[in-house]
């Protein structure tokens, strides 16, 4: 059952006199802070910076592909551009996007704690992120890397003379930054839940981040070791990946995808976590099948480790092994479908309103479903041989990563922006941005499915003239998409000064984070709350005036 909740009158809302934003002033108070909310803001600025760089590189790729010949840039420059686009977007934007910004900000608030378990490690993770980022940027400035973001051997170890080692070290550092974030989340969720906050009263956002953290901790070290091996192979010729010395180039891909496939779930699970919150809030209903959604996150994390070889079906791996991995890949569809169906059931008979975060969430559900289902095409052995290494794959993972994760990230930022800053953004403008993003996305990436099916390979600067019409569509769509992302970059900073004051709970959401002032105090809660109701209890919220939140001193 949904509960009708009337949104509060914002004209009476006032900014609190004290908050984490004005507790202290000056650069030092930010750069040496242990406050999870300030670190989240540091991360927000940092990943936005790298998103802009990655986005400009994407623009260059689409511009080059506007015409069939390689005319805008030299072909090896093109290789460097798409490699850098991949490396920056995956390791410096998507992996930290939701966990390090929104997750960092909200996990302590949602479990009723004053901070994460290890505030200094949290700050260290941001510094490691920047060290990694600087390494990757220097690899780009010094002349680039042209291996693609996958560093595939023997190309990366024996054939290219670009800055592979520099970029690999950058990713190594960024990897440790994400391990630290995961470690902090796991310890916080285990040890710092407030009284009454049982595992099954946790918001699904926290479950999603718990599952993500498990992958971060168990998977990322393998990536780190693999990249060190690539560096050792290049510098000292140790021969692990060199067949002439008894090594195997495919071993690299086994190790790399052992991390990088679960990393896909590092990138999507926090997005799903955001969607659970947004869908529930704007349907005013408890998430349908709460337990199933919670465990599906953990199931995705576990299954994610069993499927990596589907990236290697045509690389010369054993056919029998490929058969096993193809079957196991299909398994991941089950928990993903559980989530999609449960969100749809949450909408059923809810009192739905269409605020900006909800529009982005609808975008997520549609686009992620297409992205996920096309993944099944690629998991199917016979179909994969035709489709792999074509634009079909590019379209598939952009539907999941951009259509899925980026939509969810935007939903999350718009949903919690009032909590983070205390101010509202212009709603008409943000709704327009959400719609523009959706249209731009479809126009950009849908033609790529067709291009891939027709056989246009990925990672080439030139293509036959027959493919031009669809490529023009795609490039045109990319410029629409660009506007969709540019708008929030303009109105969100604008709202910091001119935005309406949001008040504590502008959406009438039930989470603990909405029951405190916006922006929160540095210590989050003046008194540690006691959780006496389930997550998403809108009845409780409606009756809140009758029984206030109980607290202990």
Partner 1 sequence: MTEKNISTHQDAEVHVVKPPVYFAIFFALLVLTALTTGISFIDLGVFNAVIALAIACLKASLVVLFFMHIHYSSRLLKLTVAAGLFTFMLLISLTMTDYISRAWGMF
- Point out which residues bind partner 1 (CB under 8 A): 190, 214, 218-219, 222, 250-251, 254-255, 258, 305-306, 308-309, 316-321, 324-325
| C-alpha distances in Å from residue 273, one per residue of 95, 348, 370, 521 | 14, 19, 19, 24
Q: Which one, 300 or 443, has the nearer CB to partner 1?
A: 300
Q: Which one, 254 or 544, has the nearer CB to partner 1?
A: 254
Q: Which one, 214 or 405, has the nearer CB to partner 1?
A: 214
All residues at 6 or more sequence positions from 356 whose CB lies less than 8 Å from its CB, including other chains: 414, 425, 427, 430, 431, 433, 434
Q: How far is the CB of 251 from partner 1 (least distance, A)?
A: 8
Distance CA 457, CA 493 (A): 40
Distance CA 221, CA 204 (A): 27
Distance CA 445, CA 523 (A): 44
Q: Which one, 49 or 118, has the nearer CB to partner 1?
A: 118
Q: How many Cβ atoms are within 10 Å of 497's Cβ, its own excluded?
A: 7
DSSP run (H or E) holding 37: helix 36-64
Q: How far is the CB of 339 from partner 1 (least distance, A)?
A: 23
Q: Which one, 209 or 261, has the nearer CB to partner 1?
A: 261
Using DSSP's 3-state secondary structure scheme, residue 33 falls into coil
Q: Which one, 52 or 302, has the nearer CB to partner 1?
A: 302
Q: How far is the CB of 191 from partner 1 (least distance, A)?
A: 10
All residues at 6 or more sequence positions from 161 whose CB lies less than 8 Å from its CB, including other chains: none
Using DSSP's 3-state secondary structure scheme, residue 192 falls into coil
Query: Helix, strand, coil shares of the chain as percentages rounded to 5?
Result: 70, 0, 30
Report the candidate in 87, 111, 103 with the shortest Cα–Cα distance to residue 39.
103
Distance CA 178, CA 125 (A): 7
Contact (CB, 8 A) for 208 and 273: yes
Q: Which one, 194 or 214, has the nearer CB to partner 1?
A: 214
Q: Which one, 222 or 279, has the nearer CB to partner 1?
A: 222
Using DSSP's 3-state secondary structure scheme, residue 524 falls into strand
Q: How far is the CB of 355 from partner 1 (least distance, A)?
A: 39
Q: How far is the CB of 324 from partner 1 (least distance, A)?
A: 6
Q: How far is the CB of 313 from partner 1 (least distance, A)?
A: 11
Contact (CB, 8 A) for 295 and 287: no
Q: How far is the CB of 114 from partner 1 (least distance, A)?
A: 20
Distance CA 286, CA 276 (A): 10
Q: Which one, 25 or 320, has the nearer CB to partner 1?
A: 320
For residue 90, how far is the Cα from the chain centroid? 9
Q: How far is the CB of 278 from partner 1 (least distance, A)?
A: 31
Contact (CB, 8 A) for 328 and 306: yes
Residue 521: CA atoms inside 13 Å, Cβ hemisphere, count? 12
Q: How far is the CB of 218 from partner 1 (least distance, A)?
A: 4
Q: How far is the CB of 273 from partner 1 (least distance, A)?
A: 21
Cα R_g (the chain), whole angstroms = 23
Instruction: Name residue, tokens 């990319």.
Output: 478
Write the DSSP symbol of residue 529. B
Q: How far is the CB of 317 from partner 1 (least distance, A)?
A: 5
Q: How far is the CB of 240 from partner 1 (least distance, A)?
A: 13
Distance CA 46, CA 101 (A): 10
Distance CA 271, CA 268 (A): 5
Peptide bond preceding 154: is omega within 30 degrees of 0, i.e. cis?
yes
Q: Which one, 210 or 360, has the nearer CB to partner 1?
A: 210
Q: Which one, 222 or 405, has the nearer CB to partner 1?
A: 222
All residues at 6 or more sequence positions from 5 whose CB lies less than 8 Å from its CB, including other chains: 284, 508, 538, 541, 542
Q: Which one, 324 or 334, has the nearer CB to partner 1?
A: 324
């Amino acid at each position: 059952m949904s509960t009708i909740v009337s949104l509060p009158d914002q004209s009476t809302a006032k900014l609190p006199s004290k908050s984490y934003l004005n507790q202290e002033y000056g650069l030092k108070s930010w750069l040496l802070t242990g406050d999870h909310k300030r670190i989240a803001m540091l991360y927000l600025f940092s990943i936005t910076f790298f998103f802009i760089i990655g986005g400009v590189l994407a623009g260059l790729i689409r511009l080059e592909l506007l015409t069939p010949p390689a005319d805008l840039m030299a072909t090896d420059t093109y290789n460097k551009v798409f490699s850098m686009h991949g490396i920056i977007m995956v390791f410096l934007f998507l992996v930290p996007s939701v966990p390090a910004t929104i997750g960092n900000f909200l996990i302590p608030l949602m479990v009723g704690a004053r901070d994460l378990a290890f505030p200094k490690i949290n700050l260290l993770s941001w510094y490691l992120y920047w060290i990694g980022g600087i390494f990757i940027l220097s690899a780009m400035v010094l002349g680039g890397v042209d291996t693609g973001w996958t560093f595939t051997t023997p190309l990366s170890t024996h054939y290219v003379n670009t800055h592979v080692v520099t970029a690999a070290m950058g990713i190594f550092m960024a990897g440790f930054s994400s391990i630290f974030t995961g470690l902090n989340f796991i310890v916080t969720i285990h040890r710092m839940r407030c009284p009454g906050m049982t595992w099954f009263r946790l918001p699904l956002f926290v479950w999603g981040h718990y599952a993500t953290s498990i992958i971060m901790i168990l998977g990322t070290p393998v990536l780190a070791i693999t990249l060190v091996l690539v560096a050792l192979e290049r510098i000292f010729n140790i021969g692990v990946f060199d067949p002439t010395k008894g090594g195997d180039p495919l071993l690299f891909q086994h190790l790399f995808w052992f991390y990088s496939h679960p990393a896909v779930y590092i990138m999507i699970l926090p997005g799903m976590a955001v969607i659970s919150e947004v869908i529930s809030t704007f349907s005013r209903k408890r998430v349908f099948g709460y337990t199933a959604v919670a465990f599906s996150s953990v199931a995705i994390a576990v299954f994610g480790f069993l499927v990596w070889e589907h990236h290697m079906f045509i690389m010369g791996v054993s056919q029998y092994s490929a058969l096993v991995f193809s079957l196991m890949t299909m398994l991941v569809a089950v928990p993903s479908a559980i989530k999609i169906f449960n969100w749809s059931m949450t909408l059923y008979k809810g009192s739905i309103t269409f605020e900006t975060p909800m529009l982005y969430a609808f975008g997520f559900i549609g686009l992620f479903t297409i992205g996920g289902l096309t993944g099944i095409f690629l998991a199917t052995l016979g179909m994969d041989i035709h489709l792999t290494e074509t634009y079909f794959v590019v379209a598939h993972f952009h539907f999941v990563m951009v259509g899925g994760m980026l939509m969810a990230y935007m939903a999350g930022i718009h949903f919690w922006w009032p909590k983070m800053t205390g101010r509202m953004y212009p709603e008409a403008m943000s709704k327009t941005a959400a719609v523009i993003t959706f249209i731009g996305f479809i126009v950009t990436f849908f033609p790529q499915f067709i291009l891939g099916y027709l056989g246009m390979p990925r990672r080439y600067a030139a293509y036959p003239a027959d493919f031009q019409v669809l490529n023009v569509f795609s490039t045109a769509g990319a410029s629409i998409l660009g506007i969709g992302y540019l708008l929030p970059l303009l109105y969100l900073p604008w709202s910091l000064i001119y935005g309406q004051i949001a008040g504590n709970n502008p959406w009438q959401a039930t989470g603990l984070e909405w029951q405190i002032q916006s922006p929160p105090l540095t210590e989050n809660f003046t008194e540690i709350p006691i959780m006496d109701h389930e997550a998403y209890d809108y009845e409780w919220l409606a009756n809140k005036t009758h029984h206030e939140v109980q607290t202990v001193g």
